[in-house]
Structure 1
Amino acid sequence: MPAPCQLDASDGDLRIRTDVTGPAARMGHHLTILVATWHASVGWDGDEPVAVELTADVDSLQIERGDGGVTPLSGPERALARTNALKTLSAQRYPTVTFTSDRMTPAGGGYHLAGELEIHGHHRAHSLDVAVTDKGDGWRLEARSAVRQTDFGVRPYSMFMGSMKVVDTVTIEFSATVRR
């Protein structure tokens, strides 16, 4: 049986994409947030992956870009957005986000993962599909999943007395390359 496959940020990217809503939404930026520090372990049974655990370091969040808004996202606004994200996620109290799955089933050129997602100290069932592309010398893994913040006790960031706020559902995007 192969040893567990270890992945981290040197193998790929983990991003969070946000949107804004409310009467003043056009003033806000649609953020792309990079999770700079994460690691994952994939367990195998023979030639088949059977389990995965991914842990993301909340304090490693970096505001990669901000689209929309009245003006381009400035350096100070980028820093403020990061600070607000860390406060919203209570990063000091809940320093990691984890996803674990021991139910992986083949599905349409990849795998369907069913497991548990922990954010902000709250555990919820979560499932997602991972596309796997054979690249000859390895595999390309890609996944995209929607997560509703309030399901995990996270109150989406808002300002101007709620007239501009982050949409409750954020999109998580993962991509990595695994070498043979």
Structure 2
Amino acid sequence: MKTSRSGLGARAGHDLVIEAAEWTGTAVVGPDGSARVHVEVNAGSLTIRDALGGLKPMTSSDRKMTEKNMVKVLQPGKYPMITFVADSTGQTGDAVTAPGALTLVGNTQPLTVSGTVSSSGRLRASATVTQSRWGITPFSAFFGALRLADDVAVEVDAELVPAR
């Protein structure tokens, strides 16, 4: 996931690259080539992998405070899993789309994931999650002068392997 910043104080903040350490995903392909997709992400496993930009590098104290804010927003104790489910997919050449539903902090909203599947079976896909659609107020500081942008870019890079 990639966040960006906005507001008058945007230069002071950091664009974050957030990684899910614990997640699973399945795609069951039907006879027509369409797939049912189910992805689960452990909301408590999200960590900051990188912090880009800003007037100064992100300190360990800043990182701890930001991860604490993520826990406050995502409430993994109450909503341990973030899920995406698509009942079918569409494919044209190597381009694939998966219109489905994302459940985040207990709210489910439609979301379409788009990407490509290489001939070697590598999936690269992305979607934009607009936090406010799921009832999340983007983080802000300094009386709103520094804000997390409402849109979060979610990217997937995974190898597709046949079920055993």
Instruction: Report the Cα distance in structure 2 between the residues aligned to 1:94 and 1:158, rounded to whole angstroms.
Output: 22
Instruction: Report the Cα distance in structure 2 between the residues aligned to 1:154 and 1:71, rounded to whole angstroms.
Output: 27
Residue in 1 that maps onto 2:136: 154
Residue in 2 that maps onto 1:163: 145
SS in 2 for 1:83: helix
Instruction: Report the Cα distance in structure 1 between the residues aligned to 2:78 and 2:161, rounded to whole angstroms.
Output: 35
Structure 1 or 2: more strand by fraction: 1
Structure 1 unmatched ranges of 5 or more: 1-15
Q: Deviations over 1:61-109 (max 9, x none)?
A: 1100101111111222112111111111222221111100012111341
Q: Deviations over 1:23-82 (max 9, x none)?
A: 111100000000111001111223734200001111001100101111111222112111
2:47 aligned with 1:68, yes or no?
no
Contact 1:57 1:96 in 2 (8 A): yes
2:125 aligned with 1:143, yes or no?
yes
SS in 2 for 1:76: helix
- Structure 1 stretches of 4+ with a deviation exceeding 2 A read 46-49
With the length of structure 2 as denominator, give the TM-score of the two structures. Answer: 0.93
Residue in 2 that maps onto 1:178: 160
Residue in 2 that maps onto 1:30: 15
Q: Tell me which moved more, 147-156 or 91-100.
A: 91-100
Instruction: Report the Cα distance in structure 2 between the residues aligned to 1:130 and 1:178, rounded to whole angstroms.
Output: 13
**1:82-161 equivalent positions in 2, closer than 5 A:** 82-135=67-120, 139-161=121-143
Matched residue count: 162
Q: In angstroms, what is the RMSD of aligned CA positions?
A: 1.4
Counterpart AA for 2:125: A
Counterpart AA for 1:86: V
Distance 1:53 1:143, change over 3 A: same
Instruction: Report the Cα distance in structure 2 between the residues aligned to 1:27 and 1:69, rounded to whole angstroms.
Output: 5
Percent sequence identity over aligned pairs: 28
Structure 2 unmatched ranges of 5 or more: none
Q: Tell me which moved more, 17-26 or 47-56.
A: 47-56
